Amino acid sequence: MSDLKSQFEAAVANSKKLSERPDNATLLKIYGLYKQATAGDVTEKKPGFGDMVGRAKWDAWNSCKGTPSETAMQQYIDLIESLS
């Protein structure tokens, strides 16, 4: 587990150094996987219609619901590596 965690932390660092900014759909996927890996299933209430960014982020995180933390970490690592 600690090896996966260190790979995940390295991927988080690498995500800030990508040569190109990913498109919004990919950014939301990255966000959802990160939140699932670090915080587990979303427990917060879905933001209202006035908060479109918050709703998009909530939806991205909620789409990962039920994914174990380790699986989300590995998917995050794989996604960042594919973008590097």
Structural domain boundaries in the chain: 2-83
Q: What is the pLDDT of residue 1?
A: 57
How would residue 2 be classed by pLDDT, with cut points 50, 70 and 90?
confident
- Mean pLDDT computed over 56-84: 95
Compute the distance between CA of residue 39 and CA of residue 60 in angstroms, rounded to an integer.
Answer: 14
Does residue 65 carry a pLDDT above 90?
yes
Structure-block tokens of residue 80: 């960042």
Q: What are the b/e assignments for 5-30, b being 16+ CB within 10 Å?
A: eebbeebbeebeeeeeeeeeeeebbb
Task: Indicate the class that CATH gives domain 2-83.
Answer: mainly alpha
| pLDDT tens by residue, 17-59 | 999 999 999 999 999 999 999 999 999 999 999 999 999 999 9
pTM above 0.95, yes or no: no
Tell whether the torsion through CA atoms of 49, 52, 58 and 62 is positive or negative: positive
Type of residue found at 11: A
